[in-house]
Amino acid sequence: MNAEEFRARLVLELRGEGIYDDRLLEAIERVPRDMFVPRPFQHQAWDNVALPIDCGQTISQPAVVARMTQALELDERMKVLEIGTGSGYQTSILSYLCRRVYTIERHRELLQQAESRLEALRRRNVTARLGDGSKGWPEQAPFERILVTAAAIDIPPRLSAQLSVGGVMVVPIGDDPENQRIVRVRRQEDGLDIDDLGPVKFVPLVSDRAAEPLSG
**Is pLDDT of 209 > 60?**
no
Alpha-carbon distance of 37 to 181, in angstroms, equals 25
> What are the pLDDT digits (tens) for 67-85?
999 999 999 999 999 999 9
**Predicted confidence band of residue 207 (pLDDT cuts 50, 70, 90):** low
Contact residues for 193 (Cβ-Cβ < 8 A; gap 6+): 185, 186
Select which of 60, 87, 95, 160 is catalytic: 60
Residue 216 within a domain: no
Q: Is residue 215 part of a domain?
A: no
Q: Which domain holds residue 182?
A: 3-210
CATH number at residue 173: 3.40.50.150
In a domain, 173, yes or no: yes
Write down the pTM of the prediction: 0.91
Asked if the structure places residue 20 within a domain, the reply is yes
pLDDT of residue 121: 97
> Which tens digit of pLDDT belongs to each residue from 18-36?
999 999 999 999 999 999 9
Structure confidence by residue, pLDDT tens digits, 145-200: 999 998 888 999 999 999 999 999 999 998 777 788 999 999 999 999 999 988 88
In a domain, 74, yes or no: yes
Tell me the C-alpha distance between 2 and 8, whole Å: 10
Whether residue 116 lies inside any domain: the answer is yes
- Is 87 catalytic? The answer is no
Number of structural domains in the chain: 1
Q: Percentages helix, strand, coil for the chain, rounded to the nearest 5?
A: 35, 25, 35
Instruction: Give the model's pLDDT for residue 211.
Output: 38
15 Cβ contact list (under 8 Å, min separation 6): 25
pLDDT in tens, 112-125: 999 999 999 999 99
Cβ atoms within 10 Å of 88's Cβ, excluding its own: 30
- Taking residues 102-114, report their average pLDDT: 97
